[in-house]
Structure 1
């Protein structure tokens, strides 16, 4: 960086994020005054020519593509004014937050908003696929969204094209920046398609699988297959049935469930044929539908078709701005609404069964009962009211439940959610870790139970000095993707000598963590020992001898 400028051109305004391979800065382009996102390869990686080339391929792969749903390339290159290579790419800056950040900070999204994000991303993927490319890394951290205060989507874009490659390419050992000496399968484990995890050729349908998992996350707040270990997550992607969001969250249309499940089928050929096909199915799943209502008033009244009724779950953002952003209505309110609807139908039927037919426009007169005066009791007759004993409720087992499931469990027990504290944890976002009072405690019905939940982030383990496999296991157990690189060092071979991001840094689950492992120093070249000249013996003359 010279004169405070990256590549002699971009003035850094702040940090947007940092991962295992690069840091991304909010920057000002001094050439035209525009705001850009500048991605700079970490210096320890920029020292290797093959890693610089791999890093720059990201921008080269998509430089010719243009779509509002794809972050466009502004420029790329290697800046080396002082003998210290600075490898960079610059991109259009996307307004808003990543989907992962939005859900973590503001909560899950309505079905309508999630579907709008999906259609925007699918439009962008269609452009990518038409160019013969596959993204291979669609995840909540690689989709940036901008949502207004009422929950309506303003913008959604795909970012991070580091794994983009030609359709049919495998992900096995395909990225020197992310795999250890070409011996792994690269990608985000939580959203990876089964064929990607098997190291097979990856086609466009793998992107559709990943997007379906991202839509599930947007609705529920967790990855589709949260498991206790990476191995269990891989097995789930390979063999477990696709999850249904409506089981976890009330108000998700069954049609939307069907779209997500089809896109996450194990056989790529059984998924949607293209991004356009999935887009059409997604739009149809949340489209408003007219509802036909029969009103049995009398024998001469025919069934009438009322104005189209919109699904509350789908149009919560459009028709209930007062509702908390991104959240559907309470299932208890829906239950009360259904009861009220039943009472209305019962009243209509009762009125229509009388001897006097009633038209739909007639309104029965209100019946008012005159109050009957009751003599006030004398002082000596005033009864002494004994307050009833308080109704007590027991705190149910909540640990391990998602936030919505915990809320329902408490409501069923006659209790309510109180203060919610988010903490670092390897458990999926929103998972209940503890409650106060604890399980089994008794408190008055209607009381509040405070919850401690997983916040979707965790602290990077400090594994410097640990052996390679132990470090990999610790990073994976903490909820991150370990990425191993090697560097010659005097430290014991096979031990971790550096971690990026540093240990104890709190970052979102699923983020890559770079582990730099010590490789043996080159063996010294043997040198021949110095040759010591042997002295030549000399004769000592004998006294008296004749020369």
Structure 2
């Protein structure tokens, strides 16, 4: 019988459950904590390539820093050896459920209300990762899990990087990183990306959830990338008239080509979805509101006129690709698409230069700043007042949030990027939703537990086990927990790191010299050194010192375990017997008969 493969001496692999571009995912069992986990390892055929190893390690570093209910949790990272080559791996939460790709294959399309709820879950994860400086870069249905209880969890930060290191989106071979149908225009052009790129990809996912197809389709990844850069998506209501205007408005704003006119953050897009769920107007313009947009019917292709006032410049009417193309023209289409991508990059650069040189801000309006969300309460209020809002009109609403520090702004209403007339600033009510901090949990009792059991208890309570410390103990067996810091029973924030103090056993120490001391002094001294005391009394002639230590075992200078016993031999002076009457020996007038100094 074949022995199961063991990673890190702890994780027993139980078969492949998924494969990605550079990794394999296994179902496994954590033998230490006796739980099922998912483990991602670098594919064996790529294990010898230092480039792939480096990318995988970067993924591990990015993923390990994320801890949020809407993100697949990362428990551990490590490295094993396969055929003499180092193979890094990531240990993740094992989730029972389906990917959105599976859901779409089974249900084809999702009701708009449910699709928006799923998208809200994606945005929760992105809002958290973006605040930590991490862009996902590959949001797509296959990377979003729907659990059995209906929760949304985002996984596979396989191409994520810190924002500070996001100057490029192309590999060394100029291959676009990401999946073509969900690429943002800036990714397709190989430009620097930020959090708004994930917003666009999320818009692509929402579009597909509602319509049953991605916004752009083509014969090749290059052809699809070209459409992301150059063409406008067919409005969802043309594919399914039952899609409400507010849902269409949200998805089309997320799919805006220019990142500056997209939702500026995941929190802003979430705010619109929440407004829609409450029956309130959304900030994204609907087709009916947009007087500059006309839908034209009657030809083999559908054309939509882009409003000329939106960005300060005009573009030719966008053309939508037909669902099917002649197979023989595939190479021509791909070639022209590639040329188009390169050309559009230069065109857009020129357009941005000219559009930014003139400035088109309306001096009669104030835009709600994007950096309000994520800042602390005091800074947010100060910024709002500096814009002209009245302090007394700024209301604070508190909310518990696992991912936010106490005092951090979670949401603002009006939403970021909302434009407000300066004449209305003095009367506009602003609501800041502020985090009360992470919920409090109780440190569980861990004394006398094994180290592994104590760590499991901490994890179950929502806490993290920090570095352990070793101390001697006369009461707790070696290898068991003596105490914790913070102490058991104390209330701390969820996710707090707890230090465990592990017993090294009683420990040895030098036995002090007690010979010549009184029995009481010797007992007190030995007990202060952690020893137990046993006393043997020896009778000595009257007149010798009474109650003094004559001998000790172990002797002075020897080492012994704390908690062990030191035996003291203590003198006990005999008393003189009185002389019987008539013995001829006179009795002193005081009636005594010996040394009373003892």
Q: What TM-score, normalized by structure 1, do the two folds share?
A: 0.49
Which structure has more relative contact order (CA 8 Å, sep 6+)? It is: 1
Q: What TM-score, normalized by structure 2, do the two folds share?
A: 0.45
